[in-house]
Chain A
Amino acid sequence: MSEPAEPSAASTRTLEIITSACLLLLALLIMWDSRRIGAGWGPSGPESGYFPFYIGTLMGLASAVNLVKAWRMSRDKSFVSVEEIRLVSAMFFPALAFVFVMQWLGIYVSGALLIAFFMRWQGKFSYAKCAAVAVGTSLVLFAMFEIWFKVPLLKGPLESLFGY
């Protein structure tokens, strides 16, 4: 819960409406797709869409109630303040970048980059410390997964340079 003094980035009501509306749309989609593949009684018993159709219907009903309730909520309560959303973004966007870069560099290298970047940016640690923790974590993970448990993870050009 945020302090009333902090400027709000979005009200709880807005988020409640968005969430319940998304779930309602999803429910309608499920019902539509279940009807498409057959939600009735076929020659070999219930068709593929039979159970999902029920699920979609009930999910839609529950979401509709939530949507109505959300609509009637007061607008005062803050879902997230500007300061809070800044902090969350500071984690979320680097994390997205990490997953994006991972496709080319592999988990170990991109993981080390994420750790070093985040420590330097948010923690203001010295470059040496950032590098030590980042490389150390990746090496421990590498030893554990590739060598000890023999579970191969996604690897990039650096690992193939060393013959993995």
Chain B
Amino acid sequence: MDEIQALMQGFSVALSPTNLGLMFLGILLGVIIGVLPGLGGANGVAILLPLTFSMNPTSAIIMLSCIYWGALFGGAITSILFNIPGEPWSVATTFDGYPMAQNGQAAQALTAAFSSSFFGALVAIIIITFLAPLVAKFALQFGPPEFFAVQLLTFCSFVGMSKEPAFKTLAAMFFGFALAAIGMDNVTGQLRLTFGFEPLIKGFDFLIAVIGLFGIGEILLTMEEGLAFRGKTAKITPAVVWETWKMLPKYWKTYLRSAAVGCWMGITPGGATPASFMGYGIAKRFSPNKDNFGKGEIEGVLAPETAAHAAGTSALLPMLTLGIPGSPTAAVLLGGLLVWGLQPGPLLFVEQKDFVWGLIASMYLGNIAGLVVVLATVPWFAAILRIPFSIIAPVILVICAVGAYTVHSSMFDVWLMMGFGVIGYVFKKLQYPMAPLVLALVLGDMAENAFRQSLLSSSGNLSVFFSNPLVATITTVALVMLVWPMLQALRGATKK
């Protein structure tokens, strides 16, 4: 088993004292980010990314991916104790988590949530361990047409799977592509869409977009709700943990279903949020305690948490193997790879073994560390939420501004961040999805290059995307994913 051997090698990389320390630091920061409104996985990692520019890439990605795990864990705390989802993927957790807390079962709900998150992540990591090398090996044969077809599939499946209206998903996505095209064309050196405005020459940095859209936009939305946090307290004792753990194995079917849904939604870029809702819905349909859902059923906590974590984790599989991230946070991590001088894609598994397997090993360790940290420190994090929003809001705003400024030490970026904040606020309220916008902004140049190279090889004939069985299949699946919901949307529009 090559994978096992490589994984052991990875553990030896990840287990160095520095990397272990960064792992715990990442988890702690991540949980704080997950708990605070306005800071989430994607923009939290985006703000901290510039701090890692000078670090060794393996250590950097270990810390940043641990922030991501921490944020995934942290979202559950606010959902259960305060009925406020700290992250979009923990909305489904509030349905039964908060009623449980009101019934005095906060500690059980939290233990179940954390343990389920851990289980979901574990399944996803095992899948990554064994599937990623195969996918990478397979993808080594890909040429530009295949890569473009896979990217097409990624973007089309956004349209097919998002719960937002199809044409809004498309508009948001092409907006992202358009932003990516701004600046110097890296093939001909020609300036595009700059209109003589100098700061635009270097193009839009997606980190700024992420900080603005998710950070500033979220603060404005939270302000609008006029938040006063009122929540339950919880202290988790070892006895409660033990009692809850004894109950969990009997839900093994729910676990497996949720983990499967989550992994599927993570690898195809459905993302953690729809996965958590699907996990909840499926558990409800099959559960014998159907009627108790929404009133504090433990199964209603573990199903969405398992699915969300499985999706959040498996989103890294396409990022590592194909260079196509499955979620906005994975997209930010991908941006990190580029900054550290690593080319994401199948070659990573050949040329950067230490990096890839160090990261995969750190996923195992990071999630164990995460489980321990959150179980031990919940009361502490719950206290953060008691800080009034009139303190938290300006502090987060300053942190976002700092994050935006550090990317290129440019004042223009800070203004841009404010602009993206307004766009984020309006888009969120009008159900324009932001994940495809961010992914298009990240992948735009890569997609364009693959597209151009494909067309060069075929002298401009689009049939190159159907030139062999592999690329033809991917393209066809992509087009079906794209056209299906649009036909439905159009039919719905003409009916009205």
Contacts and interface: CB of A to CB of B under 8 A. Distances in A.
Interface string B181-202: 1000101101111010000000
Contacts of A41: 460
Interface string A41-66: 10011111111100110110011011
A102 B401 contact: yes
B146 to A, nearest CB: 18
Interface in B77-130: none
A87 B393 CA distance: 12
Interface stretch (B275-283, B323-331, B354-362, B447-455): B447-455
B393 A96 contact: no
A54 to B, nearest CB: 9
Interface in A73-106: 79-80, 83-84, 87-88, 90-92, 94-96, 98-99, 102-103
A102 B167 CA distance: 39
Nearest to A92: B220
A117 B397 CA distance: 13
Contacts of A55: 174, 177-178, 181
Q: Which of B171, B188, B195 has the most CB of A within 10 A?
A: B171
Given A84-B224, A115-B394, A59 B430 contact: no
Contacts of B206: none
B398 interface: yes
Contact of A80 (B191, B224, B391): B224
A131 interface: no
Contacts of B411: 102-103, 154
Interface residues of B, number: 61
A121 B334 CA distance: 41
Nearest to A121: B390
A19 B398 contact: no
Interface residues of A, number: 69
A141 B237 CA distance: 35
Interface stretch (B134-142, B259-267, B402-410): B402-410
Contact of B397 (A29, A72, A114): A114
B405 A23 contact: no
B192 A37 contact: yes
A133 interface: yes
B224 A79 contact: no
A163 interface: no
A119 B427 CA distance: 28
Nearest to B445: A51
A19 B51 CA distance: 35
Contacts of A137: 395, 398
Contact of B390 (A79, A88, A118): A118
A55 B226 CA distance: 39
Given A12-B430, A141-B402, A48 B190 contact: yes
Closest 4 interchain pairs by CB? A123-B390, A59-B174, A111-B398, A62-B170
Given A33-B193, A92-B220, A115-B394, 8 more contacts: A48-B192, A55-B174, A62-B167, A72-B493, A88-B425, A99-B414, A114-B398, A119-B390
